[in-house]
Amino acid sequence: MEMERLQKVIAKAGITSRRKAEELIMAGVVKVNGTVIRELGTKVSPKDLIEVNGQVIGKEKKVYYLLNKPRGVITSVSDEKNRKTVVDLIDCKERIYPVGRLDYDTTGVLLLTNDGDFANILMHPSHKIEKVYLAKVAGIVKGDTIHALENGVRLDGKLIKPSRVKLRKIHTKQNTSYVEVSIHEGMNHQVKRMFQAVGFEVLKLKRERLAFFDVKDLKSGQYRMLSPKEVARVYQFK
Ligand code: URA
């Protein structure tokens, strides 16, 4: 049976970060099988009963949702300014959180779960999960800009080369262009910054695909549960 460090198990249950979990253990509010544990290195198995502040953890059913994120909602579990979060949009009793981030004004594919392993698989850079974005930008994009993006732009000292850049549409009258970009990283504001680096402002951004998930069948703000097959497919990336 797989043994794991207590703080990791608490963090994976989605209650708190690993560092906070360590603080909780040291504060004496964590029990394993009824006994207070203050040792940080303690290993536990899935059979152990873990309580934090009297609440049993890790017994929650694993749930998985795909949301077509609307604009004007923050990708977070809670917000100090009391703005609406993506978690508020999902009607479920489990403690779910978003897998990765989309900006307040970005729309499209967003997964939410209470399964830390599942989230890690999708977010870990080594798995190079593909994300496809459609950006509406101000101005008319031409071949030189597409080539500049294809050749890669430097963000935070790292060369970012999209696996695919495609000019989808130009609206001459509106003076806007639609460009598809596929990336494998998940840096903050990455797509907006990539366009900024080649002299274009992103007016609208939609994540059309993440791995094999798309939101073609979901209206803005709509969501659905993942099928067991879809969950299993994600575990195959591991
Ligand atoms: N890139 C961005 O700039 N914003 C997002 O929300 C996602 C990717």
Rounded Cα gap, residues 76 and 157, in angstroms: 27
> Which of 207, 208, 209, 210 to probe ligand 1 with, by most ligand atoms within 8 A of CB?
207
Same domain for 83 and 27: no
Residue 1 confidence (pLDDT): 63
Same domain for 197 and 162: yes
- Per-residue pLDDT 10s for the chain (238 aa) are 678 999 998 887 777 888 999 999 999 999 998 899 999 989 998 788 899 998 888 767 899 999 999 999 999 988 888 899 999 999 998 889 999 999 999 999 999 999 989 999 999 989 999 999 999 999 999 999 999 999 999 999 999 999 999 999 999 999 999 999 999 998 999 999 999 999 999 999 999 999 999 999 999 999 999 999 999 999 999 8
Range of the domain at 24: 4-56
Residue 103 confidence (pLDDT): 97
Rounded Cα gap, residues 15 and 35, in angstroms: 20
49 C-alpha to ligand 1 centroid (Å): 40
Same domain for 188 and 90: no
Rounded Cα gap, residues 144 and 136, in angstroms: 17
11 alpha-carbon distance from chain centroid: 17
Residue 218 confidence (pLDDT): 98
Say which DSSP state 85 is in. B
Same domain for 152 and 42: no
Residue 78 confidence (pLDDT): 86
Same domain for 134 and 121: no
Question: What is the number of the ligand 1 atom nearest to the C-alpha of 75?
Answer: 6
Total structural domains within the chain: 3
Q: What is the CATH number of the domain that holds 179?
A: 3.30.70.1560
Question: What is the number of the ligand 1 atom nearest to the C-alpha of 183?
Answer: 8
Last residue of a domain, one of 56, 79, 98: 56
Same domain for 191 and 177: yes
Same domain for 136 and 165: yes
Same domain for 221 and 117: yes
209 C-alpha to ligand 1 centroid (Å): 13
Same domain for 42 and 157: no
Question: What is the number of the ligand 1 atom nearest to the C-alpha of 133?
Answer: 8
Residues with CB under 6 A from ligand 1: 102-103, 106, 189-192, 205
Same domain for 115 and 226: yes
Last residue of a domain, one of 21, 40, 56: 56
Catalytic status, residue 103: yes
Same domain for 151 and 35: no
Rounded Cα gap, residues 102 and 123, in angstroms: 13
**φ/ψ of residue 59, rounded to 5:** -100, 5
CA proximity to 98, closest of 72, 126, 66? 66
Residue 94 confidence (pLDDT): 87
On whether the CB atoms of residues 118 and 235 are closer than 8 A, the answer is yes
Last residue of a domain, one of 39, 56, 73: 56
Question: What is the number of the ligand 1 atom nearest to the C-alpha of 192?
Answer: 3
Residue whose Cα lies nearest atom 3 of ligand 1: it is 189
Residue whose Cα lies nearest atom 4 of ligand 1: it is 189
Q: What is the 3-state secondary structure (H, E, C) of 12-28?
A: HCCCCCHHHHHHHHHCC
Query: What does R_g of the chain's alpha carbons equal in angstroms?
Result: 21
Q: What is the CATH number of the domain that holds 83?
A: 3.30.70.580
Residue 90 confidence (pLDDT): 97
181 C-alpha to ligand 1 centroid (Å): 11
102 C-alpha to ligand 1 centroid (Å): 6
16 C-alpha to ligand 1 centroid (Å): 25
Q: What is the CATH number of the domain that holds 50?
A: 3.10.290.10
Candidates 103, 156, 214, 217; catalytic one: 103
Sign of the dihedral through C-alpha 141, 145, 147, 150: negative
Same domain for 136 and 119: no
> Which of 181, 190, 202, 204 to probe ligand 1 with, by most ligand atoms within 8 A of CB?
190
Those residues with Cβ within 8 angstroms of residue 214's Cβ, 6 or more apart along the chain or in another chain = 109, 208
Those residues with Cβ within 8 angstroms of residue 13's Cβ, 6 or more apart along the chain or in another chain = 50, 57, 58, 60, 114, 116
